[in-house]
Amino acid sequence: NRDPFGVPAEFKSRTPAYSAMIERLEFLRSNVLGDRPLTLAEKILYSHIAAPEEQGAIERGETYLKLNPDRVAMQDASAQMAMLQFMTCGLPSSAVPASIHCDHLIVGNKGADQDLVAAMATNKEVFDFLQSCAEKYGIQFWGPGSGIIHQIVLENFSVPGLMMLGTDSHTPNAGGLGAIAIGVGGADAVDGLTGTPWELKAPKVLGVKLTGNLSGWSSPKDVITYLTGKLSVRGGTGYIIEYFGEGVESLSCTGMATICNMGAEMGATTSTFPFTESMHRYLEATRRGPIADAAKAVNQQHRFLQADANAEYDQVIEINLSTLEPHINGPFTPDLSTPVSQFGQATRDNKWPATISAGLIGSCTNSSYQDMTRVAHLVKQAKEAGVEPKIPFFITPGSEQIRATMERDGLTKTFNEAGATVLANACGPCIGQWDRNGAFDGEANSIFTSFNRNFRARNDGNPLTLNFLTSPDIVTAMIYSGDANFNPLTDSIKSDTTGQDFKFQPPVGKELPEGFELGRSEFYPAAVDPATNPSVQIAVSPESDRLQLLEPFEAFDQKELDLSVLLKVEGKCTTDHISAAGAWLKYKGHLENISYNTLIGAQNKETGEVNQAIDFDGSEHTIPELMTKWKQEGKPWVVVAEHNYGEGSAREHAALSPRFLGGKLLLVKSFARIHETNLKKQGVLPLTFANEADYNLIEACDRLQTMDLLDMLQKAGNNGGEVKLLLTKRKDGSQHTIIAKHTMSKDQVDFFNAGSAINYIGNEKRK
Ligand code: F3S
C-alpha cells in the first residue's frame, strides 16, 4: 500500500472522517448552535472542536475554540524552531500526520542544479537535523529541491474539509482545495504535534460573492490583488474569507489556491472555497480519485462542503469576474492596487522607475500548470513575432511534479529558448534568497513578480527594489517590453527582427495536464513507517552557529512588571522589520544568533533613524545591541509601536527574539493576529492602547509599570479586558495612567505564567 516511491499510504492524503465530522457538527447544532445556517468555514472549524460536549455558546469574534487539527506542515526555516520546541516536550512521536519541507534555504542564482548543490553544502547541518527529527518523530521529510511547502501540500495533503496548521503565513493556499489551513508559529505547530487542542478565537466570516466568469487577461491573481486593494493589509484581520457564488464554478482549483494564498496579505486567518468540480478534477489528477468521490458524495448528501442556504456573513463583498481588470500591486505594500490601465500614469505620478530590471514568475502563489501554460502561450507568441525579452526572466516551479510536467510537455524548452532561468523548486527570490547578479544594490529599480508579498528588501535585499505583484501573464508581457508604462491589453511593441508592431493576444492555458509527471524519485520522501524510530539520534553541536538547543524561558515571577521603554517604533512594522529574513534565515535554529537581527528594520519615532536606539546616557546603539545590553544589566523592557504590528508572516522569531533579549511587553495601537498569538505563546504580554493618542505620551527611557496585571491574570476570562499602566516620564518625573487592552484567554494566561506555551505543555505532558 505504497505510492510509486514507496511512501506508505498513511503518509499521503487521507479522506477526512466526514461521518464523524458531521456527527460532531450535528451535536453542536442541537446543543449549542441552534438552527442558524452556518458558513462553510464554521462547518469545518466547528467539526474539529476537540470536546463538543464541553463547548459553550459560540459567538464569532468572541469565543475561543479548542480545535484538533488533522495535520501539521512546516517549512525548513520555521521547522527548526518548531522541532527544537517539540523536543523539549519529551514526546516520542508526532500525534498527527506532519511534514517538513526544505524550500526556504535555497538561494536562487545560476539555475536549479547549481543552486541546489550550493544549498545542500551550505545548509547540510540544518537539513540533516530536520531529517533526523523527521525520522525520530515519524514526520514526512521533503528534502531540498522537492518543492515549496504550499504546492506540495496542495498536491498531496489538502482535501476538502481538512483542518491543518502550517508554520508559514501562506498556509491558507490549501483553501484552494476547500481546507481550513491556518498559518501559525512553531509553538502553535507544537500544539498540533503534541495533540494539545489548539486555541483560536472563532473568526468572523467575510463572504466574497463571485459572479460572472474570468476571461482574457484576467486571472485568479487579479481577484486577490483587487480584493487586497479594497480591504487593505488589515482588512481581513479576525476573519476567514469564504468565497461563494456562481463565479466560483468557473475557477480552477489551483486558481482558487492562488486566491487563498494571498488572503494572508490582508491579515485573514485563512480563506476557503466550497467544493467544486474543479477540485474533483484536481484531486483525480493528483492521484486521489477516491477522496474526490468521497468529498463529492458527502457534499451531495449533506451539503457539508459548502455554506448552508442563507448563511450569514459578517461582511459581504461582491466581485464580478466578467468585468475584473488585471491589477498590479505595490510597491512596498501588497494593498496598493492599481488597475493595469492606470499603471503607466501611476508610475509617472509616483516617479517609480519605469525601466523594469527583472521579471519573476512562479513561487507558491503562481506556479500551477495553468499558470505555466498561459505564460508559455505568451512566450510563443513573442517568439513567433520576433520579439525578444528585454530583461532577465526567472521561473520558480512550485514542486518537482510541476517541474517534471513542464519539462515533459515542452514548457521548459519554450522558456529556456526565451532565455529564462529556471530556478530550483524552492522559495528563492520570494524570500530574499536571491543572489542577484547586476549592479542593483542600493539602486532604485522595479521588478515585476507573480509573488504574494513585496515588503522592502524582501527579494534581493535591496531596500530600493520596487516589487510589483501581479499575475504571471502580466509579468511575462512586461518582460518583453521592459517598460512599466506598457499595457499589454492595449499597447503594441516593436518586433526586434521585423520592426513591425506586435500585440499580445490574451493568454490561453490548460487547467490540468494529461496526467502529472512525478519527476525524480530522490525528491520524494523516503519510505518511513508511521511507527517512530526512537533510536535516531538528533545531533546538535554546542559549537554550531546554525543550531542551538533551547533553554526554557523563566516562569513569570508573579510581580507587577516594572519596565523601561527601549524604543518607540514609527509606522509600518512587519515581521520582516522585526525579524529580517534573507541572510538571517540561516540562523533560524539558533536563537541567540538570530536575535542580533531583532527590529533592525524598525524606524525610531524620536530620531527618524532605522535600527537606532538611545540609551539612558544618550549613547546610540543598534536596537539589538541595546536590547542585549539591557538584558545583561537586568533591565526588562517594553517596545511601543503603531498599527498592525507584526503584519506579514507567521515568523515566530519575531516573538522569540524579543523574549530572549529581555522584552516583557509590547504596547501598540493594534496587532496582526498571528504575531499577537506568537507573543502570547512566548510569554510576552501584548497590549494595545485603549486610547491611541497615549502613544504620543511615551518616549524612550520612560518607565512603564503595570498596576493590576496580577489581578487581570487571576480574573482573565476569554473575552479580554484591560490593564492599567503607570507611565513615569524620565524628563520631568510626571506620571500618567494609561489604559491598555488585552485579549488573553485563560489558556494564554497559563502560558504567560509558565513562561511560555511550550513550558506549559511540557509541564502538563510530564504530569
Ligand atoms: Fe516560499 Fe514565498 Fe511562498 S517564501 S512559501 S514562495 S511566500
Does residue 376 register a pLDDT over 90? yes
Residue 451 Cα to ligand 1 middle (Å): 8
CA dist 644 → 56, 456, 669 (Å): 30, 16, 7
Question: Is the minimum distance from the CB of 667 to ligand 1 under 6 angstroms?
Answer: no
Quote the ligand 1 centre to 427 CA distance (angstroms): 5
Q: Is the CB of 150 under 6 A from ligand 1?
A: yes
Lowest mean per-residue pLDDT among 453-457, 623-627, 680-684? 453-457
Q: What is the pLDDT of residue 7?
A: 57
Identity of the residue numbered 92: P
Q: Determine whether the shortest distance from the Cβ of 403 to ligand 1 is under 6 A.
A: no
**pTM (predicted TM-score):** 0.90
CA 679–ligand 1 middle distance (angstroms):
23
- Residue nearest ligand 1's atom 5 by CA: 364
Q: Who's near 40: CB < 8 A, 6+ residues apart?
A: 178, 242, 244, 272, 274, 305, 306, 307, 311
CA Rg, the chain, in Å? 25
- Mean pLDDT, residues 232-255 taken together: 96
Rounded-to-integer distance, Cα 82 and Cα 408, Å: 37
User: Strands (DSSP E) along 537-690, which ranges?
Assistant: 562-570, 603-604, 613-614, 620-621, 637-641, 663-668, 685-689
Q: Which residues are catalytic?
A: 103-104, 168, 453, 649, 651
Please give the distance, rounded to the nearest whole angstrom, from the Cα atom of residue 116 to the centre of ligand 1: 17
Ligand 1 atom closest to the CA of 396, numbered from 1:
6
CB 172 within 8 A of CB 263: yes
Domain coordinates of the chain in residue numbers? Answer: 9-322, 325-502, 562-766
173 C-beta closer than 6 A to ligand 1: no
pLDDT tens per residue, range 215-228: 999 999 999 999 99
How far is the CA of 330 from the CAs of 223, 460, 569, in angstroms?
A: 16, 16, 23
Instruction: In whole angstroms, give the CA distance from residue 423 to residue 114.
Output: 9
Q: Which of 265, 363, 588 to mutate to test the pocket of ligand 1 (most atoms within 8 A of CB)?
A: 363
Question: Percent of the chain at pLDDT above 70?
Answer: 97
Q: Which pLDDT band holds residue 343 (cuts at 50, 70, 90)?
A: very high
Closest residue by CA, ligand 1 atom 3: 364
Write out the DSSP string of 31-66.
IIITT----HHHHHHHTTBS-GGG-----TTT-EEE
Alpha-carbon torsion 304, 309, 311, 317, what sign? positive
Topology at the third CATH level for domain 562-766: Aconitase; domain 4 (3.20.19)
Which residue lies with its CA nearest to atom 2 of ligand 1? 430
* Helix, coil or strand: residue 253: helix
Residues 6 or more apart in contact with residue 760 via CB below 8 angstroms: 750, 751, 753, 754
CA distance 94 to 173: 23
C-alpha cell at 286: 493528483
Residues 9-322: name the CATH superfamily: Aconitase, domain 3 (3.30.499.10)
Taking the chain, what is the end-to-end CA distance rounded to the nearest angstrom?
A: 38
Indicate if ligand 1 lies below 6 Å from the C-beta of 430. Answer: yes
Please report which helix (H) or strand (E) contains residue 466, including its range.
Answer: strand 465-469
Residue 140's pLDDT is 92
Mean pLDDT of 525-536: 73
- Atom index in ligand 1 nearest the CA of residue 75 equals 5
Indicate if the pLDDT at residue 650 is higher than 80: no
309 half-sphere exposure, CB direction, 13 A CA radius: 1
Across the chain, what does the average pLDDT equal?
Answer: 94
Cα(430) to ligand 1 centroid in Å equals 6
- Class of the domain covering 325-502: alpha beta
Question: 325-502 with 562-766: one CATH topology?
Answer: no
Give me the pLDDT at residue 109, please: 87
Q: Could you tell me if 477 and 488 are in contact, meaning their C-beta atoms sit under 8 angstroms apart?
A: yes
Looking at the chain, the whole-number percentage of residues with pLDDT higher than 90 is 86
- Pocket of ligand 1 contains residue 133 by CB under 6 Å: no
Which residues are paired to 213 by β-bridges? Answer: none
Residue 741 makes CB contacts below 8 A (sequence gap 6+) with 687, 688, 689, 690, 720, 721, 722, 723
Contact indicator for 598, 588 with CB cutoff of 8 Å: no
Give the Å distance between the CA of 737 and the centre of ligand 1: 43
Contacts of 582 (CB under 8 A, 6+ apart): 431, 432, 433, 457, 461
Tens of pLDDT, residue by residue over 472-518, are: 999 999 999 999 999 999 999 999 999 999 999 999 999 999 999 99
The number of C-alpha atoms within 13 Å of 69 and in the hemisphere containing its C-beta is: 31
Q: 567 and 613 in contact (C-beta within 8 Å)? A: yes
Mean pLDDT within 90-100: 91
Q: Is 427 in the pocket of ligand 1 (CB under 6 A)?
A: yes
